[in-house]
C-alpha cells in the first residue's frame, strides 16, 4: 500500500507536475475530434476510478459509487435547467450533495462496524436507491429516457460551461491531477498508515488510539467527491444524463473493474484501468459495431475473472515487482500470503 | 378490508415465494462454500433463456424444458465453482466476489450476443383465480406452490440425507469436519450444484411471470442479496422468512405509493437492518 512512496519521494511530485503540463498541451496537437473524445472519456473515467481505489485499497469496497456519479451529475443539471445556476457553481454543489449522502451512508456504517461484504451491500443498496429515485422522479429528471442540460446562447456558453473538447480536456485534466494529488497527500499523511492498520485489524487499530470512524470517513469523503466530480463533468461534457449509466449496479461495477484491472494499489493504476476499459469499449465498438453489442461486457467479464485469478494487483502490480521482491516471502503463494497487498479485509464478522 | 390492499398483501406473499428460491440457493452456497455468487441472478437469467429457447424455438413441451433447465443450471453452478471459485478459495473475500462479478458480465454479454437485447416472453398464461373478492394470477399461484415445494425438498435433502447432514456440518464448522472424514472439496461441489439447481428452479418459476432480456438479472439480483443478508447469511430459515417480508414490503409499498418507490423503501429498510441488526433480522 505504501509502494507509491518507493517510486521516488522527492522527484514524484515534480515528475507528476511535468506530466500534467505535457498532457495540458494535448489540445494543441489538434487531434481528430473522435480521438479527443476518447481521451476525455478516459480521463474522466480515470477520475472516478482513482476515487474508488483511494478507499477500495483499504478494504472499503464500494459497489455503489455509481450513486455518487449520479448525484453529482443530476444536482448540477437540475440546478442549471430549473434555476439557471451555472455548472461552475452547480458542480461544487453536486459534489457537496454527494458528500452529504456519503456521510449519511458512511458515518453509521463505520460507527456500527459495517465491514466487508456488508459494507459492499449497503453501498450497493444505496446505488440502486439513487438509480430508482432518478427513474421514479421522471417529472423533473426525465426518468429512464434521460435528460439534456439546456443549451446556453453562444455568448453565455463559457459561463454555462458549454465549450469545446479542449476546454473539457483541461477540466478533466485538472480533476485528474487533483485526484492524484489527493492520493499523494493521503499517502504522505498518517491517515494512510492508520487506514492500513484498520484494514489489517480494526479492533487492534482502535486499541492503539486510531480513530477508526474518522479515518474511514475522511478517505470516503475524498473518494465520493472525486466520483461526483467525474459524474458531473461527464454529464456536462456529453450534455446528456441517464440513470442507467450514472447510477445503479452496472456503472458501479464498471468503476470497480477499471480500478482493479489497472491496479488499485498504485496511484496510476486506475488511470491505466481507464485506458484499458475505454480503449476496449471503443475498439470493440469500432471493430464490431452494434452488431455484437454483447461483446464488450463479455470481454470485460472474462478479463475481470482473469485478473482476479492471475493478477489480483492489476497491471500496475506488474510494475511493482522490484519493491515486492525486496520483502522476503517464503513459499510460492506470495500473492495470497501478502496481506498488505491483498484487498485486505477480514471475513464478514456477522456470518 | 379493502380488496385492493388484500390483493397487495396476497401478491406480496406470492412475490416472497418467488424471492425465496434464489435466496435459499445463494444462502446455501454462502453458508457452505463461504463465497458470495454475485452472478446468481444471471444464472437464473440463463435458465430462463434455456426454457424459452427449448419451448418456443426447439418446440419442446414446457415440462421437458423445465426438466432440462434444472440440471443444466446445476452444471453451470458446478462449472462456476470449478473454474472460478475453487482457485480463489484462499483469497480475500472481495477478490472472490469481484471474480463472480466478472462472471455476471460474461453471462450478460453472452446472452446479449446469442439472444440480442430484445424482450422475450414465453407467452404462457394460466387463467386468474377468484378468491373471495380478489383475483390472483394463476401462474403466480402455481409458481408460489412450486417454490414452496422446492424449499421443502431442499429442507428434506439437508435434514434427512447423509450428504445433506455433511453439508450442514461443514457450514457449522469447516475446520473440524474435514477431520471427521468429510471431504470439503466434494461438499463444496455438491452445494454448488444444488445452488445452481435452485437457480434453475427459480428460472422456471420466473420465466412464466417476467419478460426476459439479458439484463433481467439486475431487476431481482440486488434485492436477492439484500434478502439473503437480512435473513442472516448462511441462515436458511431466516432468508426464507425475510423473502416474504421483503415481498410484502414491495407489494404493499406499491399499493400505498408506486412500485418504484416501494423498492426504494425496501432498500432503505435493508440499510437500516444492516445498521441495527448486522447479523440478520432473526439472529439470536
Per-residue pLDDT of A87-134, as tens digits, reads: 999 999 999 999 999 999 999 999 988 888 889 889 989 999 999 999
Query: Based on the structure, what is the number of domains in chain B?
Result: 1
| Residue in A213, A194, A227 with CA at minimum distance from that of residue A127 | A227
Residues of A in contact with B112 (CB under 8 A): 293-294, 297-298
Look at residue A324 and tell me whether its pLDDT is greater than 50. no
Phi, psi at residue A134, to the nearest 5°? -60, -40
Q: What is the pLDDT of residue A209?
A: 87
Q: Each residue of B13-64: pLDDT tens digit?
A: 888 888 899 999 998 998 888 888 989 999 999 999 999 999 998 888 989 9
Residues of A in contact with B103 (CB under 8 A): 301, 305
Are B275 and A108 contacting, i.e. CB atoms less than 8 angstroms apart? yes
Report residue A351's pLDDT band, with 50, 70 and 90 as the boundaries: very low
Q: What is the pLDDT of residue B284?
A: 65
Q: What is the pLDDT of residue A327?
A: 42
Look at residue A323 and tell me whether its pLDDT is greater than 60. no
Which residues in chain B come in under a pLDDT of 50? none
Burial class from Cβ neighbours inside 10 Å (0-12, 13-18, 19+) for residue A207 reads exposed
Q: What is the pLDDT of residue A11?
A: 65
Q: 321-340 in A: which are within 8 Å (CB) of B? A: 333, 336
Per the DSSP assignment, residues forming a β-bridge with B120 are B212
Q: 49-108 in A: which are within 8 Å (CB) of B? A: 59, 61, 105, 108
Look at residue A10 and tell me whether its pLDDT is greater than 80. no
CATH of A25-150+159-322, one of 1.10.10, 1.20.120, 2.60.120, 1.10.3470: 1.10.3470
Are B91 and B106 contacting, i.e. CB atoms less than 8 angstroms apart? no
The mean pLDDT value of chain B amounts to 87
For the question of an ipTM over 0.85, the answer is no
Q: Which domain holds residue B242?
A: 3-115+136-276
Q: Does any domain span residue B260?
A: yes
Among chain B residues, CA nearest to A129: B264
Q: What is the pLDDT of residue B79?
A: 95
Residues of A in contact with B93 (CB under 8 A): 116-117, 345, 347-348
Burial class from Cβ neighbours inside 10 Å (0-12, 13-18, 19+) for residue B268 reads middle
Look at residue A326 and tell me whether its pLDDT is greater than 70. no
d(CA B72, CA B48): 11
Residue A157: Cβ within 10 Å count: 14
B278 reaches A (C-beta below 8 A): yes
Q: What is the pLDDT of residue A325?
A: 42
Q: What is the pLDDT of residue A286?
A: 80
| Residue in B186, B183, B195 with CA at minimum distance from that of residue B154 | B195
B107 reaches A (C-beta below 8 A): yes
CATH number at residue B89: 1.10.3470
Q: Does any domain span residue B143?
A: yes
Amino acid at each position: 500500500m505504501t509502494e507509491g512512496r518507493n517510486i521516488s519521494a522527492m522527484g514524484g511530485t515534480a515528475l507528476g507536475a511535468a506530466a500534467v503540463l505535457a498532457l495540458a498541451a494535448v489540445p494543441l496537437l489538434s487531434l481528430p475530434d473522435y480521438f479527443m473524445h476518447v481521451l476525455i472519456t478516459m480521463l474522466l473515467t480515470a477520475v472516478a476510478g482513482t476515487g474508488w481505489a483511494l478507499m477500495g485499497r483499504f478494504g472499503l469496497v464500494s459497489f455503489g459509487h455509481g450513486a455518487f456519479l449520479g448525484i453529482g451529475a443530476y444536482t448540477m443539471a437540475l440546478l442549471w435547467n430549473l434555476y439557471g445556476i451555472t455548472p461552475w457553481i452547480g458542480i461544487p454543489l453536486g459534489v457537496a450533495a454527494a458528500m452529504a449522502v456519503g456521510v449519511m451512508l458512511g458515518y453509521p456504517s463505520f460507527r456500527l462496524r459495517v465491514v466487508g461484504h456488508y459494507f459492499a451491500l449497503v453501498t450497493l443498496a444505496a446505488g440502486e436507491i439513487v438509480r430508482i429515485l432518478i427513474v421514479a422522479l421522471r417529472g423533473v429528471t426525465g426518468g429512464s429516457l434521460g435528460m439534456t442540460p439546456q443549451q446556453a446562447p453562444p455568448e453565455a456558453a463559457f459561463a454555462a460551461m458549454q465549450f469545446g473538447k479542449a476546454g473539457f480536456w483541461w477540466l478533466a485534466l485538472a480533476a485528474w491531477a487533483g485526484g492524484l494529488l489527493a492520493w499523494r497527500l493521503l499517502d504522505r499523511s498518517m491517515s494512510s498508515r492508520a487506514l492500513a492498520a484498520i484494514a489489517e485489524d480494526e479492533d487492534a487499530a482502535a486499541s492503539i488510539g486510531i480513530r477508526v470512524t474518522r479515518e474511514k470517513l475522511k478517505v470516503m469523503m475524498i473518494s465520493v467527491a472525486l466520483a461526483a466530480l467525474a459524474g458531473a463533468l461527464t454529464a456536462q461534457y456529453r450534455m446528456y444524463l441517464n440513470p442507467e449509466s450514472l447510477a445503479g449496479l452496472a456503472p458501479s461495477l464498471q468503476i470497480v473493474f477499471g480500478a482493479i484491472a489497472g491496479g488499485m494499489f498504485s496511484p496510476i493504476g486506475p488511470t491505466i484501468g481507464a485506458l484499458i476499459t475505454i480503449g476496449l469499449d471503443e475498439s470493440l465498438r469500432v471493430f464490431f459495431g452494434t452488431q455484437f453489442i454483447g461483446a464488450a461486457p463479455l470481454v470485460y467479464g472474462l478479463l475481470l475473472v482473469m485478473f482476479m485469478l492471475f493478477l489480483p494487483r492489476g497491471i500496475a502490480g506488474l510494475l511493482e515487482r522490484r519493491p515486492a521482491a525486496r520483502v522476503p516471502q517464503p513459499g510460492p503463494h506470495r500473492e495470497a500470503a501478502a496481506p498488505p497487498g491483498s484487498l485486505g479485509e477480514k471475513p464478514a464478522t456477522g456470518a | 378490508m379493502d380488496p385492493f390492499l388484500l390483493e397487495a398483501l396476497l401478491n406480496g406473499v406470492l412475490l416472497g415465494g418467488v424471492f425465496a428460491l434464489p435466496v435459499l440457493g445463494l444462502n446455501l452456497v454462502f453458508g457452505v462454500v463461504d463465497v458470495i455468487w454475485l452472478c446468481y441472478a444471471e444464472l437464473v437469467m440463463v435458465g430462463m433463456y434455456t426454457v424459452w429457447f427449448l419451448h418456443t424455438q426447439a418446440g419442446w413441451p414446457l415440462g421437458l424444458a423445465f426438466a432440462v433447465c434444472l440440471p443444466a443450471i446445476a452444471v453451470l453452478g458446478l462449472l462456476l465453482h470449478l473454474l472460478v471459485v475453487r482457485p480463489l478459495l484462499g483469497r480475500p473475500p472481495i477478490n472472490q466476489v469481484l471474480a463472480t462479478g466478472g462472471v455476471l458480465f460474461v453471462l450478460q454479454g453472452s446472452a446479449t450476443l446469442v439472444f440480442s437485447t430484445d424482450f422475450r416472453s414465453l407467452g404462457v398464461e394460466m387463467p386468474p383465480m377468484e378468491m373471495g373478492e380478489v383475483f390472483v394470477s394463476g401462474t403466480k399461484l402455481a409458481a408460489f406452490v412450486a417454490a414452496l415445494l422446492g424449499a421443502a425438498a431442499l429442507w428434506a435433502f439437508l435434514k434427512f440425507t447423509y450428504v445433506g447432514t455433511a453439508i450442514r456440518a461443514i457450514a457449522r464448522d469447516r475446520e473440524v469436519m474435514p477431520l471427521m472424514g468429510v471431504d470439503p472439496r466434494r461438499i463444496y461441489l455438491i452445494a454448488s450444484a444444488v445452488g445452481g439447481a435452485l437457480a434453475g428452479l427459480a428460472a422456471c418459476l420466473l420465466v412464466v411471470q417476467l419478460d426476459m432480456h439479458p439484463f433481467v438479472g439486475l431487476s431481482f439480483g440486488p434485492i436477492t442479496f439484500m434478502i439473503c443478508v437480512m435473513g442472516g447469511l448462511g441462515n436458511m430459515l431466516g432468508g426464507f422468512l425475510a423473502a416474504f417480508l421483503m415481498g410484502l414490503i414491495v407489494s404493499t409499498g406499491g399499493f400505498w405509493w408506486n412500485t418504484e418507490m416501494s423498492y426504494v423503501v425496501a432498500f432503505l429498510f435493508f440499510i437500516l437492518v444492516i445498521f441495527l441488526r448486522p447479523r440478520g433480522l432473526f439472529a439470536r
